[in-house]
Amino acid sequence: MTRILSVTSECVPLVKTGGLADVAGALPGALKPLGYDMRTLLPGYRSVMKALKKTRTVLDEDDLFGGPVRVLEAKVAGLSLYVLEAAHLFDRDGSPYLDAQGSDFPDNPERFAALSWIAMRIARDGAKGWAPDVVHAHDWQGGFAPYYMKKNGVDVPSVLTIHNIAFHGLAPADRLAGLRLDPADFVAEGFEYWGQIGALKAGLQFATALTTVSPTYARELTTPEFGMGLDGVLRARSGDLTGILNGIDLEIWDPRTDPEIVNYKTPRGKGRAKARLRKEFGLPDSDGPLVIVVSRLSHQKGLDLLLEALPAFIDRGGQLALLGSGDKALEGAFVKAAEQANVAVRIGYDEALSHRMMAGADAILVPSRFEPCGLTQLYGLRYGTVPVVAATGGLVDTVIPASPMAMRSGVATGLQVSPLTSHALATTLGHLVDLYHDVDAWAMLQSNAMRQSVGWEASAAEYASLYDRLTAANK
């Protein structure tokens, strides 16, 4: 059985701020039937430590970036975990990355360098008899793992997955020694990024293989528009870069068994869920489509464009229910927009409510300026909630747009907005209203959506194939 160490800063169901956690939580179970033993190395945040029951210590260090650490082996929710217990780094208020005031922890470089260092130690020394054949690191938080492995003579192949290249994990150059980095590698061909230390760049330069979470995003990352200053590195390593789509957990997201909703097997069963959702949000009955947004409120997500396009959509009889939080100006603008009868807004995040929204809505809107993969459009497909998406990243790879040919051929599953402007978005939402009132066309879109394969089977097989190539090349 091939052994994989997954190095991640978050993992469902223990800690989550975004889609990385869903991937890290789902991939081990998807790989297990294929004969892969994936174990997850995770920081010992307070929430993680509270979830641990029976543990054993498999590794320790007297002083790692300012204090003693232990690595605890445990099982939680079917996951095989190695938890980095380091009170000086992780036992604190706030989120995984931000303090209670919403600012980055000043020692974030050390916190996640520690995670990467321990990944190297497990690969080099083993964990009480278990050692990986491949180390799979995620995003900048695991970016130093391939570097530490190479510098410490660890002959184990490594993978770095880019979930969102917008976050680089930067640190000032005066922390080189403290982060156990070789000054000789503080160059453009190493981890130097515009005079700073780049954890993500270290991973891109030193990992054996690179992946990202959709084929289109993999191509986009090699361009200046999407590469966030790292496009040159990725063009140089394009032969080592693979795009593998994310999947979703088909047991958690299942309209036939979801405990949060009025369950249904076909789009016809959405009616009662829609009526309940309107009541929950205080929306009036309407003959038009009910569109939802479940999102972080940020420039990336393109929701400022929705504010401009919204009046025309409401004038056509549409309704909007939004759940999200983030940028305070956007929060305030949507609260203001909700003063009209057919717009309702909840600021914050509520997992159970997101399920009820997915079940009761007619369509889900994802107008992102860039989107590595996206998960909400996959939930929409699963629930027969027609996705309306920007033509970027994984949204392109997962939604078949309702072009005239796709509609005639009977294969369309949603709508795409291109170019991404407020005018184009308003036009697409107008097209959505027209399709909604065409009973046969709308039924086809919903049925096609619910038939799509959105689970982990195909993606897990692609990861397995990558691991096999790496281990075969390392023999």
**Known binding site: residues?**
16
Q: What is the DSSP letter of 251?
A: T
User: Do residues 165 and 227 touch, judged by C-beta distance below 8 A?
Assistant: yes
- 113 in Cβ contact with 105 (< 8 Å): no
Backbone angles phi, psi at 410, to 5 degrees: 75, 30
215: helix, strand or coil? helix
Euclidean distance between the first and the last CA atom of the chain, given in angstroms as a whole number: 15
Tokens at 408, concatenated:
């005639």
**Residues in the annotated binding site for ADP-alpha-D-glucose:** 16
**DSSP annotation of 105:** P
* Distance, CA of 151 to CA of 179 (rounded, Å): 13
Tokens 């956007």 found at: 330
Question: What are residue 212's phi and psi, to 5 degrees?
Answer: -140, 180
In angstroms, rounded to a whole number, what is the distance separating the alpha carbons of residues 450 and 435?
A: 17
The runs of H, that is alpha helices, within 338-438 are 351-360, 376-383, 393-398, 404-409, 422-437
Cβ contacts of 69 within 8 Å, gap of 6 or more: 60, 61, 84, 85, 86, 89, 114, 118
